[in-house]
Structure 1
Amino acid sequence: MKKFFEAFVNIWKIEELKNRILVTLGLLLVYRFGAHVTLPGIDATGLTNLSKQAEGGIGWLIDVFTGGAFSQASVFALGIMPYISASIVVQLMGIAVPYLQKLQKEGESGRKRMNQITRWLTIAITLVQGPGYIYNLNNTLPAEAFLMPVSSFQFLFSSVVILTTGTIFAMWLGEKITDKGIGNGISLLILVGIIARLPQAFIQEFTSVVTENNGGPLQLLIEVVVWLLVIIACILMVMAVRKIPVQYARRTASGDFEQDMFGGNRQWIPLKLNASGVMPIIFAQAIMFIPAALAGLYQSDTANTITSEFKNPFGLAYNVVFALLIIIFTYFYTAITVPTNKMADDLKRSGGFIPGVRPGVETGDYLDRIMSLITFPGALFLAFLAVFPAVVKSFGVQQQWALFYGGTSLLIMVGVAIDTIQQINSYLLNRHYDGLMKTGKGRKAVA
């Protein structure tokens, strides 16, 4: 603990790192301020029904990702989610569209072009979601909450333009944090939104358990301990890797590589157990919106049953389908983000080989087989983490507090926190200070 505080003090001795942290905090503060600025033409005192809509289920998930802006009818009500949706679409299209595949191979210029495509797609998605959000306000809020007719062109046009601008501004803040601050800006914007809802959820659980005597302090202590254990399990899973030994051949006088099992430069290929991160949960969560939306278009008992089942994130049918989708998407996303064939080709070109495995195709097949084996426990863990809030709620935990026991919110909190700490750690180690994490020292790996 003493070394941790010493490292924390050392952070402020590095001028560049200190400035980056201050820039990050300042931009995050701007984003949080904007989440409480209500759209023009809406009375902020009449948002009670909208807040109730965001108290549980799907509405709560949307509100968490927007940092409470959804329930505030804020200028940031759509948050950064259109940008994330656009990024996912562009990434998936990169598998099938030759033009995007070409851009991916062009290095920095290709990356800038893909970012530009993502931004334009973000605007298109926002222009579609904006009217949908206004329609939801019209159906949810009483007429007294609107200071002008919601059906008027002036209100609809100005609101959609403001919502689109809010998303673009949030996207700009995220990119500025990434460039000028510390950590991944988009992820940090989501993180602060999640953390902003955590105290409120805990206070509600505390009131229910202790004040209203629904279990007492002992139950609250058990809940906090279980929550901390889940966080520790998330940290271990996020950081868990399977190390594959790599032997680098010696270069002969003729310039050829000569394999030497006992000489040369030895390194490791770290293959993550959870290489896909939180993306499978986000993909599956997006798919889970579709059945209820389609069923809502029809009026029948079957359609009503489907709608009720898939609007309840704590129901059995919802969680079974959700878990299966996460396992499928984990394998799918890992396959497209971990190019084992490219890794094998890079190793072969640099004179590297895995002992006992032929360079080239056999190395690619070997790495692919290892990834398939270690992805399975990672997929099961993600699926369990996603449905764990439903398990916790069955023991009487309040709905909002239960949602912090797993799913997208907890994994984002852990993943983003670890990524940010690792970046800070690299600054400290480069300046010859002790890092915040022991694993930051002396590691050699092949990317």
Structure 2
Amino acid sequence: MFKTLKNAWRVPELRKKIIFTLWMFALVRLGAHVPVPGIDPIAVEQVLGQNSNGMLGLMNAITGGAFSQMALFAFGVGPYITASIIIQLLTIAITRLEELSKEGEDGRKKINKYTRYVTLVLAIMQAGGTTYMLYQSNVLVEKNLLVFALAFISFIAGSMLVMWIGEQITEKGIGNGISLIIFINIVSRLPQGAISLLAYDNYVKVAILVLLFVIMIGFTVLMSLGERRISVQYAKRVAGRKVYGGQSQNIPIKVNLAGVLPVIFAMSLIQFPETITNLFVKTPSEFWQTAIQWLRWSHPFGAVLYVVLIFAFAFFYSTIAFNPVEIAANLKKGGGFIPGIRPGKPTSDYLSKTATHITLMGAIFLAILALSPLVLGAIFKMPVQFGGTSLLIVVGVALETVKQLESQMLMRHYKGFL
């Protein structure tokens, strides 16, 4: 990784992109510390600072601490990510969006425009709910319409500005801008986690925890790069004096096809009742408080439900991202076949069965990573701030960025021969 960055720095064009990306990182971190006007920071710390678990903890991680401070970039790229997922799901359900996705660059620009509109709508909804919660919690410096509107508009502007920064990084920098923003926000909290870890007197536990963390990094890299390659053979065909086909290729199926999305979806769903209760219910009933307590992932029932949801979303996303019927049809049209499997329905059945087995392994991997902070915290009797979800995001973004740098350097080497 470091060798790739060193070689990329020597290329003037890539060096400019890296410098631009670093400036955008600085702007993102600055916005994570700019307070929203009209909010009392001490009151915010009392309301949100103590909640380090659940969805609030994940939001705080991907925003680099901006959410717990209710800073300008408190929502980070959350609304944009949610909007992208919604548009991706609608692309399957709405024929017009599916046609746009196949129209190349023009279709991609139109889909991006729709994604921005949905991001704005989600930012308005999230800003309204959060500002109302702060209003009910007496966090605003003054409970009047002007202060409410000022905080509300600031949250919306911050969300749209983060989206714009991400698009600028994608266009003029290196890698995927949205992913890199999450990456730098998570990494920015590493020093704080290291300081809190070193504050414990039991150095043996700390050393074992660090060793397990290194093992988890290696395990995450292995699973992120892991894939099952299904061999495909193409039949030879003659057209005039030329012979086409005859070569062998493969269909790669990633072990962790869904990435970190099942974990985020599962945590969002399991924390939804508590979030709505905090926003709109001042004094919930004793039965409802017990139900919320059971739904928290620190409770055995909540942990089991959390794992079940991770498996459900992992299989759901795999059916969207990997279509065995379409792949089998394309292979049949191109004269390709899987050795030992007949074309058509037998091929689609074989691909579906293989994808199911691989998705199961990926879901088990995600469940282990998602529950790792809870398990390690219970074993070592200390809070583990850097969870498996954050680790998966950091490793995935780092590997993808290095791949993009290597491909861009490879293109520039080839230019000398053209």
TM-score, normalised on structure 2? Answer: 0.91
Pick aligned residue for 2:285 from 290, 293, 300 = 300
Report the AA paired with residue 307 of structure 1: I
| C-alpha deviation, 1:346, in angstroms | 2.7
Counterpart of 1:217 in structure 2 is 203
Percent identical among aligned pairs is 39
- Structure 2 distance, partners of 1:173, 1:295, is 33
| C-alpha deviation, 1:398, in angstroms | 3.0
8 Å contact from structure 2 (residues 63, 75) kept in 1: yes
Q: How does 1:11-410 map onto structure 2 within 5 Å?
A: 11-44=8-41, 47-50=44-47, 52-140=49-137, 146=141, 149-150=142-143, 152-207=144-199, 209=200, 213=201, 216-253=202-239, 264-293=246-275, 297=281, 299-310=284-295, 312-399=296-383, 402-406=384-388, 408-410=389-391
Q: How does 1:420-435 map onto structure 2 within 5 Å?
A: 420-432=401-413
State the secondary structure of the residue aligned to 2:64.
coil
Report the AA paired with residue 95 of structure 2: P
* 1:182-228 deviation digits (Å, cap 9, x = unpaired): 11111111111111222212211210x2xxx2xx2221111000011
State the secondary structure of the residue aligned to 2:74.
coil
8 Å contact from structure 1 (residues 47, 141) kept in 2: no
- Structure 1 distance, partners of 2:172, 2:212, is 37
Report the AA paired with residue 356 of structure 2: S
8 Å contact from structure 2 (residues 257, 318) kept in 1: yes
* 1:70-128 deviation digits (Å, cap 9, x = unpaired): 12221111211111111122222223223323322333222222211111111111111
Structure 1 pair 421/6, CA: closer, same or farther in 2 (3 Å)? closer
Structure 1 pair 343/16, CA: closer, same or farther in 2 (3 Å)? farther
* 1:335-358 deviation digits (Å, cap 9, x = unpaired): 101122222233233332211223
- Structure 2 distance, partners of 1:114, 1:397, is 48
- Structure 2 distance, partners of 1:172, 1:332, is 30
Report the AA paired with residue 27 of structure 1: M
| C-alpha deviation, 1:321, in angstroms | 0.6
| C-alpha deviation, 1:50, in angstroms | 4.3
Report the AA paired with residue 180 of structure 1: K
Counterpart of 1:441 in structure 2 is none
8 Å contact from structure 1 (residues 187, 416) kept in 2: yes
8 Å contact from structure 1 (residues 248, 352) kept in 2: yes
State the secondary structure of the residue aligned to 2:251.
strand
- Structure 2 distance, partners of 1:101, 1:289, is 32
Structure 1 pair 125/5, CA: closer, same or farther in 2 (3 Å)? closer
Report the AA paired with residue 427 of structure 1: Q
Structure 1 pair 251/78, CA: closer, same or farther in 2 (3 Å)? same
Counterpart of 1:438 in structure 2 is none
8 Å contact from structure 1 (residues 244, 268) kept in 2: yes
8 Å contact from structure 2 (residues 179, 397) kept in 1: yes
Report the AA paired with residue 236 of structure 1: L
Report the AA paired with residue 309 of structure 1: W
Report the AA paired with residue 178 of structure 2: I
- Aligned positions, number: 411
Report the AA paired with residue 104 of structure 2: G
- Structure 1 distance, partners of 2:241, 2:227, is 34
Structure 1 pair 352/217, CA: closer, same or farther in 2 (3 Å)? same
Structure 1 pair 344/305, CA: closer, same or farther in 2 (3 Å)? same
| C-alpha deviation, 1:432, in angstroms | 4.9
8 Å contact from structure 1 (residues 295, 307) kept in 2: no
- Structure 1 distance, partners of 2:2, 2:186, is 26
- Structure 1 distance, partners of 2:248, 2:131, is 59
| C-alpha deviation, 1:54, in angstroms | 4.4
8 Å contact from structure 1 (residues 295, 304) kept in 2: no
* 1:387-426 deviation digits (Å, cap 9, x = unpaired): 1211111113432xx24241x2111111111111111122
Structure 1 pair 332/257, CA: closer, same or farther in 2 (3 Å)? farther
Greater displacement, 300-309 / 29-38: 300-309
State the secondary structure of the residue aligned to 2:38.
coil
Unpaired stretches in structure 2, ≥5 consecutive residues: none
State the secondary structure of the residue aligned to 1:71.
helix
Structure 1 pair 287/102, CA: closer, same or farther in 2 (3 Å)? same
State the secondary structure of the residue aligned to 1:252.
strand
* 1:161-201 deviation digits (Å, cap 9, x = unpaired): 22111111100111111111111111111111111222212
* 1:287-318 deviation digits (Å, cap 9, x = unpaired): 112232466658332211112233x4322222
Unpaired stretches in structure 1, ≥5 consecutive residues: 434-447
* 1:2-35 deviation digits (Å, cap 9, x = unpaired): xx66544322221222122111111111111111
Structure 1 pair 424/100, CA: closer, same or farther in 2 (3 Å)? same
